[in-house]
Amino acid sequence: MGTDDAQPRMSWLTYYGEELQQARERRGLSVRELAAQTSYSFQQLYNVEAGRRTPSEAFTREVDQALETGGQFERILSRVHMEAFPAWWQGAAREEARATRICTYQSQVVHGLLQTEDYARALMREARPRESAERIEADVAARRNRQSILTRAAPPLFWTVLDEAVLKRPIGGKAVMLGQLEHLLDMAEHKNVVIQVLPFATGAHAATDGSFTLWSYADRDDVLYVEALFTGNIVQRQADVESTRVAYDLLVAAALPRDRSLDLIRSALKDLAT
């Protein structure tokens, strides 16, 4: 079965593991022998084959190279990551990946495309206390994979307005927030990433009702995405999209300029570090 076929009856993670085992055995290698050709341990390789561990992109590149599979496992890994998204987000993930411009206002937390692994993990653990550690780690890996669109060969323009509350809410504790704020500053160095901060002093503003994202495309109309608890809505009605576009323009106008926004992030970082 090729990776372009319909989703197998088993999970894509299980499928990845079984295909890896078959590819290894076709080469006449034991698990230990294949592990010796990579930088990963026997136990790590065994857990992936057993479907108990979500493989990383680096792991996948190494086994593709060692087994000379022509990128087969990188293709399967993209399905593993997509499967990790909840059903209500999968359509949104496809829209996000196709967009040429992403404009978003975030009132509570850092947008997923700019989250560190530790920050994302802390959010998920608080929101889903009964979820297994393995499921959380799979979702963190999927979120990390989403972020690759910002550094691909032809990345979208990503423009985010963050409420100042995002910088002050200590998600995951001091160490996690320090890493997240540093990551925002690092990502702001990318030419396709624009970060502005809407300060508390602004008072009432055009998006007091909450966060939203606008996706723009080269060949069709813009789309609005609004997320709520355990659900997300893709809005294509152009009157709603245009109203939101006006709201976003007003937010950009009210937010601090790019340089001053980064200064405020540095200030929040310094305050947290002391």
**What residue segments make up the domains of the chain, in order of their start?**
12-82, 87-273
Which pair of structure tokens corresponds to residue 43? 């136990």
CATH for the 12-82 domain, from 3.30.930.20, 3.30.1490.20, 1.10.260.40, 3.40.50.720: 1.10.260.40
Pairing of strands 157-163, 101-106: parallel
User: 26 pLDDT exceeds 80?
Assistant: yes
Comparison of pLDDT for 37 and 56, the residue scoring more: 37
- Residue 230's region, left for phi above 0, alpha for psi from -120 to 50, else beta, is left
Q: Distance between CA atoms of 124 and 171, rounded to whole angstroms?
A: 11
SS3 232: strand
Largest distance between two CA atoms of the chain: 67
Model pLDDT, residue 54 = 76
Per CATH, 12-82 and 87-273 having the same topology is answered no
For the domain made up of 87-273, give the CATH fold.
Answer: Endonuclease; Chain A (3.30.870)
How many Cβ atoms are within 10 Å of 260's Cβ, its own excluded?
13
Task: Give Cα 268 to chain centroid, integer Å.
Answer: 23
Which pair of structure tokens corresponds to residue 159? 């423009």
Average pLDDT over residues 239-261: 97
- Tens digits of residue pLDDT in 77-116: 877 766 666 665 667 888 898 999 999 999 999 999 999 9
pTM recorded for the entire structure = 0.73
Angle at alpha carbon of residue 122, lines to 116 and 128, rounded to 5°? 130
Q: What is the DSSP letter of 61?
A: H
